[in-house]
Structure 1
Amino acid sequence: MLQQNQSATYGIRLSSERHAILLAAIAIYFIVNFLARMALPGNLELDEAEQSYFSQWLMAGYSSQPPLYNWLQYATVQLFGLSLASLSALKNLILFSAYVFYFLAAREVMRDRQVAAIATLGLLTIPQVAFEAQRDLSHTVATIFTASLFLYAFLRTVRRPSISSFLLLGLATGVGVIAKYNFVLLPAAAFLAILSDAKWRPRLFDWRLLLAGVIALVIVAPHALWLVDHISAASAHTMRKLTGSGGAPALAMLNGLGSLALASLGFGGLTLALFALTHREKLPAIFRARSDWTRLTGRILIFALGLIVLMILFGGVEKVRDRWLTPILILLPLYLALKIDAAAPNLQPEMRRIWAIAIALMVLIPTLLLGRVATASLTGLYQYPNYPFASMAEEVRPQVTSAPTLVVTLDTHMAGNLRLHLQPVPVLALSTPAGLKPPPTPEHQRILFAWRSAADGTSAGLPQKFEQYLQERGMKADASQIRAVTLPYAYGRAGDEYHFAYAVFDIGH
C-alpha cells in the first residue's frame, strides 16, 4: 500500500514537472515571437495599424468587427503607451493565455495527463493559429483566446459543475461574442451537443445556467446596444465577404459547400496529417476508440459545421474562409487527443515525435516571420513592415509639430502607421464604413492629408475624398499644396522605392 501511494505521488510530481516544462516552452516560444517582431522594422501590418489607429478612442463599437481586442489594446496603450512593443506584447500575451486555457481544457477531460500536452502542442499545427495569428491578426487572435477559455469553462462545467464554473462559462461566452461574431457558433454547437446527449442533458436544467446567461448578457450589452443602431453598417462588410454575386442558387450552394470543404482542409489538414504521422502504428486503435468526451466534442464539431451548411443552403453564404472557422475547428487537436486518450496507448515513442515536430515549428515560425521581411532585398517581395512609413513620418514631422494638426488619410493602414510614428498628433482615416460616423477629433489649426501615390503622384491631384472633406469645412482644394515623396523600402533592393504624397492646409487660410 505504501509503495502504491509513493508511486502515485511520484506520478503526480512527474506529471506536474512535465506540464511545467510544457508551459515554460510555450512561454519561451511567445517571447521569441515578440523579440522577432521587435527585430523587424517598426512599420505596421494591416491589423497592427488598425489597432494603433483605433487606440485613440474607447467606444462601444468601431467598425465591422466587435470591440474586445480594441478595448484590450486601448487599455494597454493607456497603461504603457503606444509602441510596437505594446502592440506585439498584447498579442503574444493573449495567444499565450489561449494555449494555457486550451491546456487546462484538455487536462480537465483526459485520463492520461500527458495527452493534454498533445492537444496543446497540436495548436502549433494549425496555420491560422500558429503562423497567421503571429503575422497579422487581431480579432481572430481574440477569438482563439475566447474559444480556448470557453472550452475550458464548458468542459469544467460539464464535468464538475459549480457556481464558479457556470460564472466562468458566462464570462467566456460574453467575451467570445464581443471578440468576433462567428464565435456564437461554438456555444450554439455546444448547446446542441449537450441537448442531444442523454448523459449530459441534465446540465441544461441547472439553475446556475441562468447566472451564466446573465453574466454573458451584461458583457455583451454595451456593444449590443451600439449594434442595434449600426447593424447595417457593421454587417455590410462581412456580408460582402461571405456572399457571392447573386447567381444561380444551386451554383451558389455548390460554391459555398466547396469553399467550406477547402477552408476546413486548409485549417485542419496539416493537423490531421501530423497527428496521423506521429501515431501511425496505432491509427486503427485510435480511430475505433470512443469515450463520453470524444462523443461530446465530436458532436460539437458536427453541429458547428452543420450550422455553417445551413447558412450556405438558406442564408446565401457562398465564401467560407479558413480563418472564419477558427472558433470551431480549434477544437480539432483536442478531439484527436481525446481519441488517443480513449485508446490508452503507450505514448513514449509518440511523445518524442510530437515534441520534435513542436520544437521544429517553434523554430520555423519566427524564422519565417523574420525571413519574409528581412530577405526582401533578395526576393523583391515587400511585406507591410518593409513599407517606409517611419521615414514618411519623419518627412512630414515639421509640418505637424509647428501647429496643432490633424492628419487625415484614406485608410486605417496608413493612419495607424502615422499615428504610431507621429504621436501624440491625432489621426483620422476616411474609410469608415457607410453609416458609421467618423470618431471625434480634437481642435486643430492645420490639416495634413497623406496618401499613397504613383511615381508621378503630383499630377493626380488631391484624392476626391479629401476634396469632399475640405468642402464640408468650407475650404477649397489647392493642387499646388501637394508634395510628392519617394522613399526606399526597409531591407529593399537598390532603386526600389515607394511613393507617397501629402498636402497641408491651414484652416482659415
Structure 2
Amino acid sequence: MQALAKRNVLILISVLAIVGIAFMKVTPELEDSEQAYLTQWLQWGYNDQPPLYTWLQYGFNQIFGLNAFSFAFLRALVFGASLWVGFGFYRKVADANPDKALFALLLWVLVPTLIDWTFRRLSHTSLMNLSVLATYWVLFLLMKKRNLKNYLLFGLVLALGMLSKYNYVLVLASFGIGTLVDKRIAKVIFHPKMLLSVSVALLLCWPHFNWVLEYRHLIGERVAEKTAGSGWPVVSTLLSYLSAFLKMVWPLLLFLVWYFWKQRQRPVKRAALIIAYPLFILFVVQAVVVLVVFLFMGIQKVETRWLLPLFLPFVPVLITAMKIPVEKYIPKFYLIFLLVIALQFLRTPVEKVFGIPSAVHYSFKPLHQHLQQHYPERSWLFFDITYAGNIRLLDKQKVVGTYDDFLLSEKHLKWPRVKVITKYAHTPEWGAPTDSITEFGRFKETVYLIDETTEVK
C-alpha cells in the first residue's frame, strides 16, 4: 500500500510540475507551437506524424481554450498515465510485488532524456511511451488469461500505438519475431481470438491508413529529411544508434557498474532470465529489429528520444538481473526522483535569472503587433511552424499557414496575404521584401515580410 501511495504522489507532483513549468515560459516549446498550428483543423492526418495526439489536443483546446494550460495539462496527463500504466505493468512482471514495481518506475530518473524532454516538450513520443507500456501490460495479461476481454483490450492498445507514432510498428515486428523463440508469446499471437484484436485495431485506424496511402510520398520525403546524415551509411547508422542508446541510459549503466562492483555479484544466468521472462527475449529482439530497420532505411541520424518508447518496457529486466534489496534503495531513489522534478521546475526561472539563452524567453508579441498594425487584412503565411503556432496563440481568431505543412495548398488561405520568412533568397517566385524586422528572437534573426496582393501564378 505504501508503494501505491508513493506512486500516486509521484503522479500528482509530476502533473503539477509540468503544468507549472508551462506558465514560466514567455514562449512555448516547439512541440506546443506545432500543436497550436495543427489544431486549427480536424484531419485524418497531420504531416509526418499520426493524428491521435493532435486530436486529443484539439479536444483539450475546445474545453480549456487555446493556451499554455491546455498544452501542458495534456502532456502532464499523458506522463501521469505513463507512470500509472508503467507501475501496473512492472508489477505484473515482478510477480505482483509493488515494491519491485515502484523501484523499476523510479529507475526512470536515470534516463535523463525521459524526464527532461517529457516534462518540457514531448508530445507524440510521450503518447507512444504510454502506448508501448500499455501494449506490453496487456500482452502479459494475455499470457496469463487468453479471454475475449483481454484480446479486445489488446486491439484497443494496438490502435492507440499505431495512431501515436509510426515507429510503433517496430514493437509489432518484435512481437512477430518473438513468436519464433518463445512459446508463450506464440500462444498469444497465434490464438484465433487475435483476429478480434486485429479487427478492432484496423477498424479504428482505417481512415488514417487511407490518408497515409494518399500522402505516402510526402510523408516519406519529410521522414528522409529528418533522418538524413553524412558519412558511410552502415557505419554512420551503427555509431548513431549506439551513441543515442548510450546517451539515453548512461546514468543507468553507471548505477549498474557501481552496484555490481559494490556487491561483487554476478547477474542471474542468462538461461534463468529467459525462462523467467519472455520480456528479455523481446528486449533482444527489439534491439536487433530497430537496428536492422534503421540500416535498411539508411537512417544516419538517430535521435535519443526515438528509442525511449522502445526501451521503457524492459526496465524490469534489470530488477531480475540484479539481487537488489529494493526496500533499501526505494527511499533514496524516491528522493532523487522528487529532486529531479524540482530541478526541472526551477530550470526555466534559473535560466532567465542567469541569462542562459533559451528560445522560451523571447516573445513573439513584437512580430504579432507589427503584423496587426501593417497587415491586419492579409492572410499570414510563415515559413516556420514555430512562428505560425506562436502567432496563432497570440491571435486565436486568425487562420495562419506555414510551408512546413505539406497540406498547405488545401488550406485555401485567402488572398491577399503576407509571407513571413527568416531566410530570404532573391528569386522571382518569392518576390521582393516589402518590410522587415531586425534582431528578432533568441538568434537575432532578420524577419522579412513579402506582401502579395495578388496570387502568383
Same fold (TM over 0.5): yes
Q: Secondary structure at the match of 2:381?
A: strand
Which residue of 102, 124, 127 corresponds with 2:109? 124
Change (3 A) 1:72 1:312: closer
- Give unmatched runs, 5+ long, in structure 2: none
Report the equivalent of 2:149.
164
Q: CA RMSD in A?
A: 2.8
Structure 1 residues 392-447: Cα deviation after superposition (integer angstroms, max 9, x where no partner): 2233334455x4x42111111100111111111110002334xx4534246x4652
Change (3 A) 1:244 1:506: closer
Deviation at 1:303, TM superposition (A): 0.8
Equivalent position to 1:440, from 395, 411, 435: 411
Task: Determine the structure 2 residue equivalent to 1:12.
Answer: none
* C-alpha contact (below 8 Å) 2:7/2:84 kept by paired residues: no
Q: Does residue 451 of structure 2 align to residue 451 of structure 1?
A: no
Deviation at residue 204 of structure 1 after TM alignment: 2.7
| Contact 1:411/1:430 (8 A) holds in 2 | yes
Q: Which residue of 1 aligns with 2:56?
A: 72
- TM-score, normalization: structure 2? 0.89
SS at match of 1:331: helix
| Letter of the 2:291 counterpart | V
Which residue number in structure 1 is paired with residue 335 of structure 2? 356
Aligned pairs for 1:271-310 within 5 A: 271-277=252-258, 281-282=262-263, 284=265, 286-288=267-269, 290-291=272-273, 295-310=277-292
Which one-letter code corresponds to 2:313 in the other structure? L
Q: Distance in 1 between matches of 2:326 and 2:309?
A: 28
Aligned equivalents of 2:275 and 2:223: distance in 1? 34
Are residues 390 and 134 of structure 1, via their aligned partners in 2, closer, same or farther at CA, if it must alter by over 3 Å?
farther
Shift in Å at residue 504 of structure 1?
4.8
Alignment equivalent of 2:307, drawn from 318, 325, 344: 325
- 1:292 CA displacement: 5.9
What does residue range 192-207 of structure 1 map to in structure 2 within 5 Å? Answer: 192-207=177-192
**1:141-152 residue pairs with structure 2 within 5 A?**
141-152=126-137
Matched, 1:371 2:341: no
Query: Could you say which residue in structure 2 is the equivalent of 1:264?
Result: 245
Other structure's SS at 1:408 match: strand
Q: Determine helix, strand or coil for the equivalent of 2:23.
A: helix
**Residue 87 (structure 1) aligns with:** 71
- Letter of the 1:438 counterpart: S
Q: What amino acid is aligned across from residue 362 of structure 1 in structure 2? A: I
| 2:238 corresponds to 1:254 | no
Distance 2:165 2:349 in 1: 28
Write out per-residue CA displacement over residues 426-471 of structure 1, whole angstroms, 9 at most, x where no aligned residue.
10002334xx4534246x4652332337xxxxxx6x875xx747xx
Are residues 322 and 234 of structure 1, via their aligned partners in 2, closer, same or farther at CA, if it must alter by over 3 Å? same
Give 2:38's match in structure 1, choosing from 35, 50, 54: 54
CA displacement, residues 454-502 of structure 1 (integer Å, 9 cap, x when unaligned): xxxxxx6x875xx747xxxxxxx564x424355576xxxxxx9554343
Deviation at 1:339, TM superposition (A): 3.4
Distance 2:264 2:400 in 1: 56
| Whole-Å separation in 1 of the counterparts to 2:21 and 2:297 | 42
Matched residue of 1:39: which SS? coil
Distance in 2 of aligned mates of 1:110 and 1:138: 29
Quote the residue 1:337 is aligned against: 319
Q: Deviations over 1:129-156 (max 9, x none)?
A: 2112233222212211211221222222
Q: Report how far residue 218 of structure 1 moved.
A: 1.5
Q: Is the Cα contact below 8 Å between 1:407 and 1:450 reproduced in 2?
A: yes
Q: Name the CA shift for 1:188/1:35 in 2 (closer, same or farther; >3 Å).
A: same
Q: What is the deviation of 1:211?
A: 0.9
Which runs of 5 or more residues in structure 1 are unaligned? 1-15, 454-459, 470-476, 490-495
Judge conservation of contact 2:401–2:408 (CA < 8 Å) in 1: no
Deviations 1:259-286 (A, max 9, x none): 2211111122222323554676557254
Name the CA shift for 1:486/1:265 in 2 (closer, same or farther; >3 Å): closer
Report how many residues are paired: 453
Range moving further from structure 2, 134-143 or 91-100: 134-143
Contact 1:195/1:204 (<8 A) preserved: no
Cα distance change on mapping 1:185 and 1:487 into 2, 3 Å: closer
- Find the aligned partners of 1:359 and 1:449 in 2 and give their Cα distance: 46
Q: Are the equivalent residues in 2 in contact too, given 1:252–1:316 (CA < 8 A)?
A: yes
CA distance in 2, matches of 1:498, 1:431: 19
Q: 2:18 aligns with which of 2, 26, 33?
A: 33
Give me the whole-angstrom Cα distance separating, in 2, the residues matched to 1:122 and 1:486: 44
Q: 1:411 aligns with which of 384, 387, 390?
A: 384
Is the CA contact (8 Å cut-off) linking 1:73 and 1:87 kept in structure 2?
yes
- Cα distance 1:50–1:312, how it changes in 2: closer, same or farther (>3 A)? closer
Tell me, in whole angstroms, the C-alpha distance in 2 between the residues paired with 1:369 and 1:186: 35
SS for the counterpart of 1:317 is coil
Write the deviation string for residues 183-213 of structure 1: whole angstroms up to 9, x where unpaired: 1111221332244113443223322211111
Is contact 1:52-1:420 (8 Å) kept? yes
The answer as to whether partners of 1:485 and 1:499 remain within 8 angstroms in 2 is yes
Partner of 1:311: 293
1:483-502 matches, cutoff 5 A:
483-484=436-437, 499-502=446-449
Q: Is the 8 A contact 2:268 2:320 kept in 1?
A: no
Question: Is the Cα contact below 8 Å between 2:94 and 2:316 reproduced in 1?
Answer: no
- Of the two, which has the highest radius of gyration? 1
The answer (yes or no) to whether the contact 1:192–1:303 under 8 Å persists in 2 is yes
Q: Percent identity?
A: 21
What is the CA deviation profile of residues 82-101 of structure 1, one whole-angstrom value per residue up to 9, with x for unaligned ones? 11111111111111111111
Q: Structure 1 residue runs of 4+, over 6 Å off?
A: none
Deviations 1:333-367 (A, max 9, x none): 23213435xx4x54332222222322222222223
Alignment counterpart, residue 98 of structure 1, candidates 73, 77, 82: 82
Partner of 1:493: none
CA distance in 2 between counterparts of 1:322 and 1:484 reads 36
